Chains A and B, each alone.
Chain A
Amino acid sequence: MKELVPDHQGMILVLMFIVGNTLVFPLGGLAGPDIWLAFLTATVLALPIILAMARVRSLMQGSTFFVGFERVLGKWPSRILAFLYGGFAWRLACYVVSDVSNFIQTVALPTTPPVVIATFLALLMLWAAKEGVEVLARFAVMVGKVVLAVLAIIFVLLLSQVDLGEFQPVLYNGFKPVLRGAFQILDFPFLETVVLFWVFDCFGRRVSPYKVFLPGFLAASLVLLIMVSTSLAVVGADRYALYYYPVWTAVGRINVSTFLTRLEAIVGVTFAIGSFVKMAVALLAASRCFAYAFGFSDYRFVVTPLAMGVIAGSRWFITTVLEVDQSAVETHSPDEIMFQVVIPLVVWAFAELKAKNGKANGSSQAGGGEEV
């Protein structure tokens, strides 16, 4: 059963996945007033890895994901990798659920236990993941319009509160803070895109992976750059990194002649919708990876146990808003570098080698597994 996602829907899915739960956090706070430079740097640094992923997907054009992947890496290596990435994606789902449930607890429902919220989210994403990537992509397109429209409106309303002087002086403390801010942004959310690599089952054409990943990523980067810079210019460069939820705080300042105020709730809803897309995608990726690792092509039967695990996991990796903040702001943890940078590049190198050999030996593809 092939699940085919049209290019433009895939692009929106990538966009929503990256923008999703990230918006409210103090992304790249270490860069201070040079945050826009940090974003540009991070975008440039992330591009090679995004391109490598797209290239690998492009090389297995035509076949469904795991068939293609086995052709590139061989049976057992790809199963092991799938198992590892299943764990990574599952952990990401837990993180996102934690983020949302803690956010809701902090700003809206102080006495509701986060696990109650987590349970509802788990139920919802269970449903979404069972529907599959096609439905998710269509859903992303639908809510994407809403989310982007809300962000556009908020951006316009925030403009009245913006102080461009906050971006000055440029590079007061040199380039090092910019670099550190860029690494923050790379780690979360830019390179979490690797999870999406495992989600799409197959693409329409050979160029499709590029058309999905590249514009999706660049658009997300642009959206985040605009929103984050705007809210920094509103709350002040010195305060930006100190807030847990700077965008939320910034939007609280919006005041259109005392009649249009208290718009934070809209940000909250946007955040919740975006996060929902992200956690559903992560759960879907985890299910696909685990099912494949155990040798099944149909993944739907593992969704429920994994989703139930997420309820527990969301109280395991992260429990309080302080830890959410830490995980969103912390950089270069080894497992993340492993999953987000090293392994994708290694896979790409293998795929490239394979493609070369494949060309040299005509169309022979047999015995691919043994070489690795």
Chain B
Amino acid sequence: MFVLVILVYGAVAALELWLWAERPWKKVLIYLLLTAAAAALASLIVVYGKLPVPEPIGFLGKLFKQWWQGGGKQ
């Protein structure tokens, strides 16, 4: 499954790149980077099932909860 996902993402990327009229290296680089990121995410999900979602400002949430006592309760 893992291999299949990588292959599919790679194939789609290759196909689209081939369709481009011109290929400035900057664009190609960013395109490949983003595709790689998407493929990495997909394959991680395929392999591990449930991934934790990063919460860069999650600490703020805890702060809000403290301010608003019982905010989540009836």
Contact between A and B in the complex (any CB pair below 8 Å): yes
Asked if B64 contacts A334 (CB within 8 A), the reply is yes
List B contacts of A311 (CB < 8 A): 38, 42
A359 at interface, CB cutoff 8 A: no
**A304 contacts chain B at the CB level, 8 A cutoff:** yes
Contact with B along A330-348 (1 / 0, CB 8 A): 0111110110000000000
Instruction: Classify the secondary structure of A's interface with B.
Output: helix
B41 touches A316 (CB 8 A): yes
Q: Across the interface, do B41 and A296 meet the contact criterion of CB distance under 8 Å?
A: no
Chain A residues with Cβ below 8 Å from B34 are: 290, 302, 305-306, 309
B35 partner, pick from A308, A332, A338, beta carbons under 8 A: A308
A354 at the binding interface (Cβ < 8 Å): no
Chain A, 283-310, contact with B by CB distance < 8 Å: what is the 0/1 string? 0000000100010100001101110110
| A332 touching B71, Cβ below 8 Å | yes
Check B41–A309 contact: CB distance below 8 A: yes
CB pair A334–B57 under 8 Å, yes or no, is: yes
Contacts of A319 in B (CB 8 A): 50
Query: How many residues from A make CB contacts under 8 Å with B?
Result: 24
Q: Which of A311, A312, A338 has the most CB of B within 10 A?
A: A312
* Neighbouring B residues of A334 by C-beta, 8 Å: 57-58, 60-61, 63-64
Q: Shortest CB–CB separation between residue A181 and chain B, in angstroms?
A: 12
A85 to chain B, nearest CB (A): 14
Q: Mark contacts of B18-47 with chain A using CB atoms, 8 A cut-off: 1 yes-contact digit, 0 otherwise.
A: 001000001100110011011101100100
B7 contacts A by Cβ under 8 Å: no
| CA distance in complex: A101, B12 (Å) | 22
Residues of B within 8 A of A332 (CB): 61, 64, 68, 71
Instruction: Kindly state the separation between the CA atoms of A319 and B12 in the bound complex, as whole angstroms.
Output: 24
Residue of B nearest to A334 (CB): B60
Let me know if A301 and B20 touch, CB within 8 A: yes
Nearest CB of A to B37, in Å: 7
CB-defined contacts of B31 to chain A, threshold 8 Å: 301-302, 304-305
Q: Are B64 and A309 in contact (CB under 8 A)?
A: no
Contacts of B3 in A (CB 8 A): none
Which of chain B's residues have a CB closer than 8 A to the CB of A333? 61
Interchain Cβ contacts under 8 Å between A and B, 28 examples: A294-B30, A296-B26, A296-B30, A301-B20, A301-B27, A301-B30, A302-B30, A304-B12, A304-B16, A304-B31, A305-B37, A305-B38, A308-B35, A309-B34, A309-B37, A309-B38, A309-B42, A311-B38, A312-B41, A315-B45, A316-B41, A331-B71, A332-B68, A334-B57, A334-B58, A334-B60, A335-B56, A338-B60
Task: Mark A residues whose CB is within 8 Å of B.
Answer: 290, 294, 296, 301-302, 304-306, 308-309, 311-313, 315-317, 319, 331-335, 337-338
Chain B interfacial positions (CB closer than 8 Å to A): 9, 12-13, 16, 20, 26-27, 30-31, 34-35, 37-39, 41-42, 45, 50-51, 53, 55-58, 60-61, 63-64, 68, 71
Extra inter-chain contacts (20) besides given A296-B27, A312-B38, CB under 8 Å: A294-B30, A296-B26, A301-B20, A301-B30, A302-B30, A302-B31, A304-B13, A305-B31, A305-B37, A306-B38, A308-B42, A309-B41, A309-B42, A311-B42, A313-B41, A332-B68, A334-B60, A334-B61, A334-B64, A338-B60
